[in-house]
């Protein structure tokens, strides 16, 4: 049946039922090869489309983030200097604060606020708080 090469098949001497099986095998291989070719073509076409979609998604998120940042800057710039001072920022620090680059300043301000609440002499206030009487001492004082 086969000549020297496996792909060159001698079909003339086949009975009709073997011929039909060989034909079905050939058709099945052709359909599998076609399906592989279509899958590879689809991958080749869709891979750049997927990359483009991912890039467009990144651009869109960056655009939305930029718009959000600009809106925050606009709102803070609309405030007067006194309100900005109440918040704890100067007008020249607005973009710096909105960008989130004020971590060190906020950390230092939090430390200073905690020190001033305790009135620790090491914090530089120079005055220590008087010890507060406990609830038990207050009850004894008012009961007497």
Average pLDDT of each block of 10 consecutive residues along the chain (144 residues)? 53 80 92 95 90 93 94 93 89 87 60 57 52 59 56
- Residue 73's pLDDT is 92
Give the dihedral sign, CA 74/77/83/88.
positive
Q: Give me the pLDDT at residue 116, please.
A: 57
Instruction: Quote the pLDDT of residue 98.
Output: 87
Residue 72 burial class via C-beta count within 10 angstroms: exposed 0-12, middle 13-18, buried 19 and up: middle
Phi then psi for 9, rounded to 5 degrees? -110, 140
Res 18: pLDDT = 86
Alpha helices in 1-144 (DSSP H): 16-78, 81-87, 94-98, 103-118, 135-143
Q: What's residue 1's pLDDT?
A: 45
Place of tokens 């100067």: 90
How is residue 74 annotated by DSSP?
H
Could you identify the residue written with the tokens 């991958």?
Answer: 43
């Amino acid at each position: 049946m086969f000549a020297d090469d496996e792909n060159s098949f001698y079909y003339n001497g086949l009975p009709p039922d073997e011929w039909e099986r060989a034909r079905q095998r050939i058709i099945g291989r052709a359909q599998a090869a076609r399906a592989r070719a279509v899958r590879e073509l689809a991958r080749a076409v869709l891979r750049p489309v997927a990359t483009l979609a991912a890039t467009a998604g990144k651009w869109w998120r960056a655009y939305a983030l930029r718009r959000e940042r600009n809106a925050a800057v606009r709102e803070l710039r609309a405030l007067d200097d006194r309100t900005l001072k109440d918040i704890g920022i100067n007008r020249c620090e607005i973009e710096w604060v909105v960008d989130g680059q004020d971590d060190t300043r906020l950390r230092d301000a939090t430390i200073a606020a905690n020190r001033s609440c305790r009135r620790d002499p090491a914090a530089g206030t120079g005055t220590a708080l008087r010890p507060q009487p406990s609830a038990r001492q207050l009850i004894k004082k008012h009961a007497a």
